[in-house]
Amino acid sequence: MPAAPIWEQRWHPLREEWVIVAAHRQSRPWLGETVRDAKDDAPEYAGDCYLCPGNERVSGATNPPYTGVFVFDNDHPCVGPLAPDAFEMPPRPYAARRADGIARVISYTPRHDLTVARMSIPEISSIVDSWRRETRDLGARAEVKQVLIFENKGDVVGVSNPHPHGQIYATNFTWKTFDTELDAQRRYARENARGLFGDVIDAERRDGRRVLFEDEHAIAFVPYFARYAYEVYVAPTRQVPHVSSLSDAESESLARALKSVTVRYDNLWRQSFPYVMPLHQAPSDGGNYDDFHFYIGFLPPLRRPNTLKYLAGPEIGGGNFLSDTSPEEKGAELRAQPVIHYRETSA
Ligand SMILES: [Zn+2]
């Protein structure tokens, strides 16, 4: 028997906003645009790739013959130490300030074609280790207020180079999403003497329908208040403000959770699944952020094979997400996927 359609608002406790879930609309015919199938045929090495070992980058630097994770300063930084010090101050009520920081690229692997979903647990663990190291080192610098780490994956989120990589922006300012989440978590801790994210984890465990992975130290789930159809949170079960606070055992659990989620994603439509994946971390300005629970968000832009979720009137205009899919149904779809990657099986 099909589940009853969902037509309600759901509270997003971290963003402190309502998500409108109108899942009764999802069977309406789609006459809009689709995107091309993601190509799964990247070579192991590409001579024109700025991330492959031994290749020259636009800055003139040559990549070393690296064998694991390779981190370097971004040749096209959005924020950087070269941002001008002096600029014209605008009239009130406008304001301007320096866009300072350090931008780096993390090449996950020397292999041009090896995405996270197809990596071993030790290979994914070394990516997590690079996040820990960079967060600790960059966060210790006086000019850095926050370390934003993220991966954009796939043509549909504007990444033309398939070589698996992430980015780091260590900035002299904090980012609005994490400011909002910090405020929400601080208020919740004050009012309830408990952690907000810990209570989200407990609620997901009790319900169980949206949980994709859990072991001793980490959990992955489609949140009850998902804004994107296949949105997934991956988190350590212990509340720590930064990825750098994780133990080795917790990092390895996180790597297992990341593997489980990315394999399910790829298996869903048997294609390399695109997403935006930010690490939600507290500021790194020396303050006390014990109320903040570090986690990783997967925000996939596709709602069906080759069909983008467009942000339009409700999202861009109104500022709240309207989702026409049910998080329970999407959780069930992902839970039903095998945990062996489709390209690793002979079928
Ligand atoms: Zn490459």
pLDDT digits (tens, 9 = 90+) for 286-318: 999 999 999 999 999 998 888 888 899 999 999
Ligand 1 centroid – CA 56 distance (Å): 11
> Where do we find the tokens 């954009």?
152
Q: Is 165 a catalytic residue?
A: yes
pLDDT at residue 26 in the model: 55
Ligand 1 centroid – CA 49 distance (Å): 5
pLDDT at residue 30 in the model: 54
Ligand 1 centroid – CA 165 distance (Å): 9
Ligand 1 centroid – CA 111 distance (Å): 7
Ligand 1 centroid – CA 237 distance (Å): 34
Tell me the pLDDT tens digit for each residue of 3-53: 678 899 999 999 999 999 998 765 555 555 566 555 667 899 999 999 999
What residues of the chain score a pLDDT lower than 70? 1-3, 25-40, 346-347
* Residue 166 to residue 106: CA distance in whole angstroms: 5
pTM: 0.94
Ligand 1 centroid – CA 331 distance (Å): 33
Burial label for 284, CB within 10 Å (0-12, 13-18, 19+), is buried
pLDDT at residue 304 in the model: 87
Q: What is the DSSP letter of 314?
A: I
Ligand 1 centroid – CA 4 distance (Å): 47
Contacts of 85 (CB under 8 A, 6+ apart): 98
* Residue 102 to residue 318: CA distance in whole angstroms: 33
12, 112, 163, 165: which one is catalytic? 165
Q: What is the DSSP string of 200-264?
A: HHHHHHHH-TTEEEE-SSEEEE--TT-SSTT-EEEEESS--SSGGG--HHHHHHHHHHHHHHHHH
Query: Do 164 and 108 contact (CB within 8 A), yes or no?
Result: yes
* Residue 104 to residue 163: CA distance in whole angstroms: 15
